[in-house]
Amino acid sequence: MKYLEKIMFLAMMSLLLWSCGASKPAYTKTISKSSASSNLRNLKSSSFGNVSYKVKKILNDAEDYLGTPYKFGGTTKKGLDCSGLVITVFSENDYKLPRRSEEQAKEGTRVEVQSVKPGDLLFFATSGGSKVTHVGIVNEISFRGDITFIHASTTKGVIISSLNDAYWNKAFLFARRVL
């Protein structure tokens, strides 16, 4: 039994280290938890409740892109990168943001993770360190405070992930409110 547990643990860790794990686009929410959850930061929000019409519209528009493949520099249904998803969805709703995630990280107001709301932007350092290399839009806050976000991953395209996933939890830098 110990051997099987080790294999399962190694398989889960391999998936987490492989950023977004599959070459096939994901069309549904992908929310998982690592077995190493004791090493995760407590990244939960207490902002549970209703969202405004404008935020609902942005999130609905973002969800329309679920399954869209990743394309560096892309801003269409043919392909998007992470900052391309953000500028496209916000632009469709008459909000202008800079093109690059590094520049988007300077917009709006910094928000503590405990106060994030749907529609806020989450910024990540996927290469380690503190340089912004990825952005996502807060999608939902569960009644327990768990945060999900929609983003364009390099291997799965546009998906919804959890900030409780070990990979994203470790890479998370900060949040900003632009609405």
Give the pairing type, strands 109-111 and 79-80. Answer: unpaired
Six-digit token string for 36: 């190493």
Q: Which of 20, 43, 51, 82 is catalytic?
A: 82
Catalytic, 20? Answer no
3 CB-contact burial (10 Å; exposed 0-12 / middle 13-18 / buried 19+): exposed
Q: Which of 58, 85, 139, 151 is catalytic?
A: 151
Choose, from 44, 117, 134, 156, the residue flagged as catalytic.
Answer: 134
Q: Which of 114, 95, 96, 110 is nearest to 44 (CA)?
A: 114
Q: How many CB atoms lie within 10 A of CB 15?
A: 17
Residues 6+ apart with CB under 8 A from 129: none
50 given a catalytic annotation: no
Active site annotation includes 151:
yes
Query: Which residues fall within 8 angstroms of residue 111, CB to CB, at 6 or more apart?
Result: 117, 120, 175, 176, 177
C-alpha distances in angstroms, 23 versus 32, 67, 68, 70, 162?
18, 11, 12, 10, 19
The 3-state DSSP class for residue 175 equals strand
Catalytic residues, which ones?
82, 134, 151
